[in-house]
Chains A and B, each alone.
Chain A
Amino acid sequence: MSDQANKSAGLELPTIRSRVAGTTGPQFWRSLEEAAQSPEFEQYLHREFPMQASEWHDPASRRNFLKLMGASLALAGVSGCTSPPPEKIVPYVRAPEELVPGRPQFYATAMPQGGYGLGLLVESHMGRPTKVEGNPEHPASLGATDAFAQASILTMYDPDRSQTIFRRGIIETWDAFVTAITREVEKFRENRGAGLAILTETVTSPTLANQLQSLLADLPEARWYVHEPAGNRNAREGALQAFGRDVDVVYNFRQANVVVSLDSDFLVGLPGSVRYAREFIDGRRVSVDAGRMNRLYVAESTPTVTGAVADHRVAVRPSQVESIARSLLAAVRGEAAQVADNGSADWWVATAAKDLRENQGAAIVVAGPGQPAAVHALVHAINEAIGARGRTVNYLEPIAARPAQEGATLADLAEELHAGKVDTLVMLGSNPVYTAPGEVNFTEALSKARLRIHLGEYYDETAFLSDWHIPAAHYLESWTDLRAFDGTATIVQPLIAPLYEGKSAHEVISVLAGNPGRSAYEIVQEYWQGRLGEQDFDRRWRKAVHDGVIPETEAQTVNVQLSDALAGANATSGGSQLGDGTVEVEIRPDPTVWDGRYANNGWLQELPKPMSKLTWDNVAYISLPMGERMGLNNGDVIEVTIGERAVQAPVWLMPGQPDNVVSLTLGYGRSRAGRVGTDIGYNAYKVFPAQGAWFAQGKIGYTSQKKLLATTQSHWSMEGRDIVRVTTVDKLRQDPKHLWEGEHGHGELPSFYPDFDYSKGNQWGMVIDQTACIGCNACVMACQSENNIPIVGKEQVSVGREMHWLRIDRYFVGDPAEADVETYFQPMMCVHCEKAPCEVVCPVAATVHDSEGTNNMVYNRCVGTRYCSNNCPYKVRRFNFLQFSDETTPSLKLMRNPDVTVRSRGVMEKCTYCIQRISHARIDAKKSGDGFVPDGEVVTACQQACPTRAIVFGNLNDKQGEARKLKHSPLNYGVLAELGTQPRTTYLARVANPHSDLPGPKAANPHEHVAEKDKAHS
């Protein structure tokens, strides 16, 4: 292990720089080790796993080993003599009308994400929800999902979820809770609710909001507080500054030719991101028609996926964004004198402003949730100046319900608690003991309340300090309703009765209102009875539940007036000045576990973070020059101090990170998350600012510790010509065929192996558009969920044994020391070679071709020689080194896709093109016709989840098919096709749309790039 931890110790920046500069053409590199061509990387490239990775690390001695072997051999003999135990068939007593056993059903519902609803269709196998898909009718989803929604199915079946009601650690019943609280309620009726405080997360549920408001109307002295750890507090205040009122902002990216992001990761981080990603990418789809392509400018600090797809990204300190916003505002208003000096961002500001002015009414500027209110206000002013209002930017009545009183934050609650004004505190679905910023000191404040009631999915940090803990029902277990980013309401219907004693917030509030015994279903239905109308209610209700959207519930557009204060904004500083030894520390939600609510989800923990490809940890991202200056390397633990509070975090050298900025992420350092999420990483909430922007000045100090970090960035490295291809839209328009210069088309190389005949029936193929891929990981999670893929844990990931069939390779181009490195994403899974190298080396024919062109893996035939994997140039085969699939936990058995085999130890596996879905479609087609499956009938799990439709799968024999059409795109190429493998999955080159005033992507012009370098060297 220590070898692993120290493996990057030998890296020195000058070496890496000279290596990168010395190569000809653009060099794509995945890790600093690769850029430096270090021996560790060579190992990943030439060996499949690092040296010694196949050794048995368990401390079991040889004697133990022999004992175990002896026993298993003996048992193997015994088990061979018996037939499998008889199985039971348990039919229905009264079969549901619509249900055909063996065929899945889909129900519309919605998932709360930061309070906002994402519309879903959930697949149910005889009452067991097994897979989450997007609801095409829902405005936030449009049929796609994100990684969190895909992984939520695991949370639902998580055996660590809270299973029973606790009163101070002792198991209690719901009736006991109701009795105890009813006594309290009587008291509150007398004193008008004085001393009662309710803490919620963001509430968009109309029913819950209505319940809270009527409770507060009954008990006027009671108080309601809202705490959303990574919420939109800055955006709200910004709107107040700009318009004098609270509004929600929604964007129409489809109409935008120019998009400017000021530290906003809008492709993944906002309530409407799934839709935004689709609309934004639809504006830059040039694979078939290179007519129109939008342009994205991003100014951000730590690299994000939005920055990675930008045409022009500039890395700045977070505090510099305000100055950039002021300069942009001045520039689009034509007040050149007011444009401040933004240093290296000057060119960016000037060009972005020019582009914005030229695209009046077809441009958007977006500010990030971590930026202070002032930036949001400035952005509102810029959007006003470029005529975005009503066209690309709309202002809505706030979606989330809010307390009427002033001061309803967690800090206000803590103050009241300290003042002894809170007698009873009810915390609904929130975990404030963990998520409270350090300066709020909520743990101490909480002890001041007499009675603490907590409703939560886990027996977490807050539950541990509460008098009563009620297990919360998962969203797939209970009735409620949610509003989406644009206000559209959805009835959230349960897919299964609560696995444990889960209750919803509706039921708890109902008890507080002195109305126990009412189910969430009754409460939600009663609310909508008043809204949908008494007349014909039953039909309307059924339709609302069935469709997953309630028509005409979108939020009203608000006519806002920009306040005069912003009319003449002065541009001054270029960001806060950093003193000696001071750095800027920014804190943001983690890309995979968000604010910590998904910490116990093993899928999300093992999901490589989009940019760093780290798993199972959060780190402190710093730039390479900073690491070199300070003598820090990956894994060295530093102490980051803001004010009086400090956290200790391992360093990660992040290409593209601006200098003197330390980026931390939330969500880790949980002390009571469950057996997966407890005690991993550090808790950044300790230094998270309670008010305002999500960054502050701080200091860093050394510690003597070093931490093993498990990153997948070097795993499954490939070697070959032009794995990622990049061009610009201008070149594409001038000469569509330019990517093919000096290139044999794939499929033309001779082969010794006989051809298959696909003239009849179906043949499958896939095209992945690298321009559309935003690296958001939704596909990786969808694949994991659909195909029963196990997780392996941090130790196993660190030796390269992660099981993801689908990985997203992230490549960098450029000098690792400069912040302007370019980032490219390439989803990579089995490409189903027509001349597959794996098939010919399998001694037992466990991996074979089928007559529709796919490359099948027959698990029951596999004996685990791993020859196939050794021979795969794409390194997409995964081997079960250990028994990774959990075959014992009962709740996880329910979760599995019944159409896919659960693999056991010693078996190879890989992407199957979702053969189970192909099989279903083929059988249906054969029953109703000649077996021809038209394009679009089979949608793979990754394709279905993809927000940007970057993955297109289809029947290549369908002349109208989209996949077939894309295969003829001038951008189409096969990765490593020069090996003659004839991959069925091909890629569309990434297309950038740089502004003519600025340099284009380094990766797009190999020859010019070399020339430049030659100039620099001479």
Chain B
Amino acid sequence: MAQIFHPSTNTFARATIFGAAFILAGAAAAGGMFVRSSYVTQVDVVRDQPVPFSHDHHVSGLGIDCRYCHTSVEKSSFAGIPSTEICMGCHSQIWKNSELLAPVRESFRTGQSLQWTRVTDLPDFVYFNHSIHIAKGVACESCHGRVDKMPLMRKAHAMHMEWCLECHRHPELAVRDKADVFKFGIGEEVSQGNPPEIIFGKPNSVGGVGETLEPGRTDAEGQDTPKYASHGEELVKRYGIVTKQLTDCAICHR
């Protein structure tokens, strides 16, 4: 009986068996890239909103504080979306005939709420609390990015759990002075040339504005040995952040 397979099939078989490893690895890599792609994570995707509200204009242009509109960000888990009344506080005086603001006036007149589309949405089994992050020196821009540079609102980070854990494991890299929590662009002057977002793993990129000092050394003016390796660690201590507790599952999941 003649052989069913031609000898060249052997080569083909070897190639496929050997290649399978690459194919599987490639598929895994593609899968990984896919779930991290903005198609899935919706990062930088602008959503349709009833009014094309510009954070760029209101924050950078007019200098309005975050808390003017997001009123409960220091008190509650939810930062708060402004009521129509807050919009109308100004827009009954300025731009009061603007076509773009017609839905706001309509809402105010009829008593029907504006319906915004959520841009940053965590899964329902994650219980995120804005107020405690604000109270412990985590800035708005740490999670929401350079909102002051966003003419239309978009998500700045994928908000994967590993990303949350980077701070929860190393809060000293993320906390800043409470006075700077609502400010934007802090720390960028230190890391010139980097994209305008927080880079983890680099001491002081956010927490330490200014000079880095290793323990056991004196600074330029011959002052005492600093207590902390970085400003961030000092802040962690000052704010009473218990790092070990931050990775308890029940901190976010319940």
B84/A94 in contact, CB under 8 A: yes
Distance between A40 CB and nearest chain B CB, rounded to angstroms: 37
- Measured CA separation A381–B114 after assembly (Å): 69
Q: Which of B114, B124, B244, B250 contacts A854 (CB 8 A)?
A: B250
Residue numbers in A under 8 Å from B131 (CB-CB): 923, 927
B84/A91 in contact, CB under 8 A: yes
Residue B22 interfacial (CB < 8 Å): no
Distance between B87 CB and nearest chain A CB, rounded to angstroms: 10
B115/A87 in contact, CB under 8 A: no
A93/B75 in contact, CB under 8 A: no
Residue A931 interfacial (CB < 8 Å): yes
Residue B82 interfacial (CB < 8 Å): yes
* Segment at the interface with B among A98-106, A194-202, A213-221, A308-316: A98-106
Residue numbers in B under 8 Å from A90 (CB-CB): 113-116
Q: Which of B40, B83, B253 contacts A91 (CB 8 A)?
A: B83
B132/A927 in contact, CB under 8 A: yes
Distance between A507 CB and nearest chain B CB, rounded to angstroms: 25
Distance between A8 CB and nearest chain B CB, rounded to angstroms: 40
- Measured CA separation A858–B245 after assembly (Å): 16
Q: Which of B112, B118, B124 contacts A93 (CB 8 A)?
A: B112
> Contact mask B126-143 → A, CB, 8 Å, 1/0?
010101100110000000
B40/A83 in contact, CB under 8 A: yes
Q: Which of A101, A761, A915, A930 contacts B250 (CB 8 A)?
A: A915
Residue B202 interfacial (CB < 8 Å): no
B83/A102 in contact, CB under 8 A: no
- Measured CA separation A923–B111 after assembly (Å): 34
Residue A901 interfacial (CB < 8 Å): yes
Distance between A661 CB and nearest chain B CB, rounded to angstroms: 48
B124/A91 in contact, CB under 8 A: no
**CB-nearest residue of chain B relative to A88?**
B115
**CB-nearest residue of chain B relative to A849?**
B248
A851/B242 in contact, CB under 8 A: yes
Distance between B165 CB and nearest chain A CB, rounded to angstroms: 14
Residue A170 interfacial (CB < 8 Å): no
Residue A848 interfacial (CB < 8 Å): yes
Residue numbers in A under 8 Å from B136 (CB-CB): 926
Residue A919 interfacial (CB < 8 Å): yes
Residue numbers in B under 8 Å from A91 (CB-CB): 80-84, 113-114, 116
**CB-nearest residue of chain B relative to A914?**
B254
Chain B 57-113 residues near chain A, CB threshold 8 A: 71-72, 75-78, 80-86, 107-108, 111-113
Residue numbers in B under 8 Å from A852 (CB-CB): 245, 248
Residue numbers in A under 8 Å from B112 (CB-CB): 93
- Measured CA separation A926–B134 after assembly (Å): 11
Residue A204 interfacial (CB < 8 Å): no
Residue A86 interfacial (CB < 8 Å): yes
Distance between B45 CB and nearest chain A CB, rounded to angstroms: 10
Residue A351 interfacial (CB < 8 Å): no
Q: A91-B84, A93-B113 are in contact. Are A919 and B242 (CB under 8 A)?
A: no
Residue B214 interfacial (CB < 8 Å): no
- Measured CA separation A100–B240 after assembly (Å): 26
Residue numbers in B under 8 Å from A919 (CB-CB): 127, 129, 250-251, 254
Chain B 230-254 residues near chain A, CB threshold 8 A: 240, 242, 244-245, 248-251, 253-254
Chain A 47-98 residues near chain B, CB threshold 8 A: 83-84, 86-95
Q: A91-B114, A859-B125, A927-B135 are in contact. Are A761 and B72 (CB under 8 A)?
A: no
Q: A93-B85, A101-B72, A101-B80 are in contact. Are A926 and B135 (CB under 8 A)?
A: yes
Pair count A-B, CB < 8 A: 132
- Measured CA separation A159–B218 after assembly (Å): 72
Q: Which of B121, B127, B248 contacts A851 (CB 8 A)?
A: B248
B254/A93 in contact, CB under 8 A: no
- Measured CA separation A328–B72 after assembly (Å): 65
Q: A919-B127, A927-B132, A931-B240 are in contact. Are A850 and B85 (CB under 8 A)?
A: no
A86/B47 in contact, CB under 8 A: yes
Chain A 883-898 residues near chain B, CB threshold 8 A: none
Residue B42 interfacial (CB < 8 Å): yes
**CB-nearest residue of chain B relative to A931?**
B240
A901/B254 in contact, CB under 8 A: yes
Residue B223 interfacial (CB < 8 Å): no
**CB-nearest residue of chain B relative to A99?**
B72
Distance between A853 CB and nearest chain B CB, rounded to angstroms: 11
Distance between B125 CB and nearest chain A CB, rounded to angstroms: 4
Task: Decide if the interface of chain B is mainly helix, strand, loop or mixed.
Answer: loop
Distance between B33 CB and nearest chain A CB, rounded to angstroms: 14
Q: Which of A101, A851, A912 contacts B76 (CB 8 A)?
A: A101
Chain A 870-919 residues near chain B, CB threshold 8 A: 899-901, 912, 915-916, 919
Residue numbers in A under 8 Å from B129 (CB-CB): 919, 923
> Contact mask A453-495 → B, CB, 8 Å, 1/0?
0000000000000000000000000000000000000000000
Residue numbers in B under 8 Å from A900 (CB-CB): 254
Residue A734 interfacial (CB < 8 Å): no
**Size class of A's contact patch?**
35 or more
- Measured CA separation A94–B112 after assembly (Å): 10
**CB-nearest residue of chain B relative to A903?**
B125
**CB-nearest residue of chain A relative to B48?**
A86
Residue B7 interfacial (CB < 8 Å): no
Residue A751 interfacial (CB < 8 Å): no
Q: Which of B84, B115, B249 contacts A858 (CB 8 A)?
A: B249
Residue A441 interfacial (CB < 8 Å): no
Q: A93-B111, A94-B84 are in contact. Are A83 and B75 (CB under 8 A)?
A: no
Q: A93-B107, A901-B125, A923-B131 are in contact. Are A916 and B254 (CB under 8 A)?
A: yes
- Measured CA separation A1004–B151 after assembly (Å): 76
> Contact mask A708-734 → B, CB, 8 Å, 1/0?
000000000000000000000000000
Residue A860 interfacial (CB < 8 Å): yes
- Measured CA separation A89–B132 after assembly (Å): 22
- Measured CA separation A900–B129 after assembly (Å): 14
**CB-nearest residue of chain A relative to B104?**
A93
Distance between A65 CB and nearest chain B CB, rounded to angstroms: 29
Distance between A222 CB and nearest chain B CB, rounded to angstroms: 43
Residue B195 interfacial (CB < 8 Å): no
Distance between A339 CB and nearest chain B CB, rounded to angstroms: 61
A93/B84 in contact, CB under 8 A: yes
Residue A856 interfacial (CB < 8 Å): yes
Distance between A932 CB and nearest chain B CB, rounded to angstroms: 10
B117/A856 in contact, CB under 8 A: no
Residue B123 interfacial (CB < 8 Å): yes
A100/B250 in contact, CB under 8 A: no
Chain A 909-945 residues near chain B, CB threshold 8 A: 912, 915-916, 919, 923, 926-927, 930-931
Residue numbers in A under 8 Å from B123 (CB-CB): 84, 860
- Measured CA separation A926–B107 after assembly (Å): 38
Distance between B61 CB and nearest chain A CB, rounded to angstroms: 23
Residue numbers in B under 8 Å from A87 (CB-CB): 117-118, 121
B42/A930 in contact, CB under 8 A: no
Chain A 727-781 residues near chain B, CB threshold 8 A: 760-761
Residue numbers in B under 8 Å from A86 (CB-CB): 47, 117-118, 121
B42/A83 in contact, CB under 8 A: yes
Residue numbers in B under 8 Å from A761 (CB-CB): 242, 245
B242/A931 in contact, CB under 8 A: yes
Inter-chain pairs besides A92-B113, A899-B127, A927-B132, 15 sampled, C-beta below 8 Å: A91-B114, A92-B85, A95-B86, A100-B72, A100-B75, A100-B80, A761-B242, A901-B124, A901-B254, A915-B254, A916-B127, A916-B254, A919-B127, A923-B132, A926-B136
16 contacts between A and B (CB under 8 A): A83-B41, A86-B117, A86-B118, A87-B118, A92-B83, A93-B85, A95-B83, A102-B72, A103-B72, A848-B249, A851-B245, A858-B250, A859-B253, A861-B249, A919-B251, A923-B131
Top 10 A-B pairs, shortest CB-CB distance? A102-B78, A102-B76, A850-B248, A856-B250, A91-B81, A95-B83, A92-B83, A87-B118, A860-B125, A102-B77
Which residues of B are in contact with A by a Cβ distance under 8 Å?
40-42, 47, 71-72, 75-78, 80-86, 107-108, 111-118, 121, 123-125, 127, 129, 131-132, 135-136, 240, 242, 244-245, 248-251, 253-254
